[in-house]
A and B are shown apart, each in its own frame.
Chain A
Amino acid sequence: METGYITALWFLIISCLTVPLMLGIGWIIRPQKKGSANKTMAYECGEPPVGDAWIKFNIRFYVVAIIFIIFDVEVATVFPAATVYKAAIESGNGGLAFAKIFLFVGLLLSGLAYCWVRGDLEWIKGVAQTGNKK
């Protein structure tokens, strides 16, 4: 098992080194010519770019991101419970194990239903609200 983790670490290291390696090979073998200054201009359909791209705008994603975090933590916590579920069934504790998983996931499911009813899952909610206020 230990070897597995060492190998996984090597996978991370080698895949991490692949990118500098490829770019490095390119840097060595290609002709070093200074290109036109226009090339480094940000692409905006051929026109000179208007202003910066780093502006403030509605990402429409805030609540979904929060729901995601809650669900992701939930999934991470259900994984251990799911792993021992089979063993629990084999030892005759299937009902208890099922009830525990159901209670935990059911609570989060009701949370999802609440967000759904509240309209937090609507992508174009923001537009509709500003339209109503006017």
Chain B
Amino acid sequence: MGNSALFAHSMQTWIGAGPIWVWAALSAFLIIYLVALPFGGFATYVERKVAADFQDRVGPNRVGPYGILQFLADAVKMITKEDFIPDGADKFLYNLAPLLVVMGACSAFAALPLSKYLMGADLNIGVLYILAVTTLVAPGILLGSWSSNNKWSLLGGLRGAAQIVSYEIPVALSILPVVLISGTLQVGTIVEQQGWAWSGATTGQYHFWNLFHNPFCFCAAFLLFIAGLAETNRIPFDLPEAESELVSGFNTEFSGMRFGLYALGEFAEVFVMCAVLTALYLGGWHIPFLNLDQMWIKFPEAIIILVQLAMFSIKTLLLVFVVMWLRWTLPRLRVDQLMGMCWKGLVPLSLINLFGTAVWMWVFNGRSLAQLLFGSGHG
């Protein structure tokens, strides 16, 4: 089993005393309020700046140097906006909808392996937990759209339900090859296995990035990225929002902080999607071709945490940048094309990847490409 320590355990050890549930609550609070929500807020600024660069504009540049504090100004504006519920809306569901979106996106951070010693919760069903919790976003969008009693919203919400529900299948099927390879659902262990074996004796433990485990995994990672884009309603799959045809889609009637919470939740979900791809396929916190545990000197835990956190963030944020890049590269798909692509393209392809990986495992006795090429110690 994985030996990655939980954030709560680490804090309890550093500080000394205190019941563990207090530290668990504190670790959840810190990760949500220092990682998830700030990222969601800051991403709105980065998205606008990236968009401006792609279109040869300046972008936000008034609040702070390079407009970097724009997201704080936006937050203040949204919080102080008038908060009203439209006529004829279903009040209970209208209030519940943003809550489900934020809950789905933020709770998934629990199982993200930010670093070996900095995980919220290294659950033994971590992969399933992330899949299950992020699904809360789908009812959030559907309820929000239906309850606001607006025709644009309703159309957007129904598209969203069809899309998110359908793309759930390729996402899960593209995660399965990793489970086949790793033989565990624990995210920490899955990441740990993707290290580079520095000494020959440990070649069996590390099979390098799952992306390069075998050709089928290589394809599965791209399928996961595409299906993840659709899950998070990003262009080219932003049909539920589709501002040029449905005004603002499912959140047309949401204003002020409620709209802000939807936006926060969506960006947090983008981060979760990229982080899952990083953890499952791109080696998570590992530095390519280096193994911090097998160096000549023994690093203190704090340095390892910082280096691993930096590595994980770099990989994840690069993927987030690619997501923003795609927004200004690809046009939006049509609804029937979208559904056709999922059920006639991604689902069969990801099943082929699943079978391919299973056959590879069987034929090569579970060894990865790196282990086959550099069998007698890579270093």
Contact = CB atoms under 8 A, between A and B. Distances in A.
Among B80, B103, B335: residue with most chain A CB under 10 A = B103
A85 to B, nearest CB: 5
Nearest to B354: A105
A13 B106 CA distance: 10
Contacts, number: 233
Contacts of B361: 85-86, 89, 94
Contacts of B335: 123
Contacts of B224: none
B280 interface: no
A60 to B, nearest CB: 8
Nearest to B111: A8
Interface string B93-115: 00000110011011101110000
A75 B172 contact: yes
Interface in A68-100: 68, 71-72, 75-76, 78-79, 82-87, 89-90, 94-95, 98
Contacts of B182: 86
B364 to A, nearest CB: 10
B61 to A, nearest CB: 27
B120 interface: yes
B158 A15 contact: no
A30 interface: yes
Contacts of A59: 158, 162
A14 B176 CA distance: 30
Interface residues of B, number: 95
Interface string B321-337: 00000000000000110
A39 B78 CA distance: 17
A112 B88 CA distance: 41
Interface string A106-123: 000100100010000111
Interface string A39-61: 11111110001001110000111
A102 B179 contact: no
B351 interface: yes
A129 interface: no
B251 to A, nearest CB: 11
Contacts of B166: 64, 68
Interface in A1-44: 1, 3-8, 10-16, 18-20, 22-23, 25-27, 29-30, 33, 35, 39-44
Contact of B168 (A23, A68, A82, A95): A68
Given A16-B103, A112-B348, A11 B121 contact: yes
A14 B183 contact: no
A7 B362 contact: no
Contact of B366 (A4, A60, A90): A90
B151 A53 contact: yes
Interface string B149-186: 11111100010011001101100110010011111110
A78 B176 contact: yes
Contacts of B27: 7, 10
Contacts of A86: 180-183, 361, 366
Contacts of B261: 19, 22
B147 to A, nearest CB: 10
Nearest to B7: A7
Given A18-B102, A98-B359, A112 B343 contact: yes
A123 B343 CA distance: 11
The 5 closest A-B pairs by CB, nearest first: A86-B183, A15-B106, A123-B336, A4-B121, A10-B28
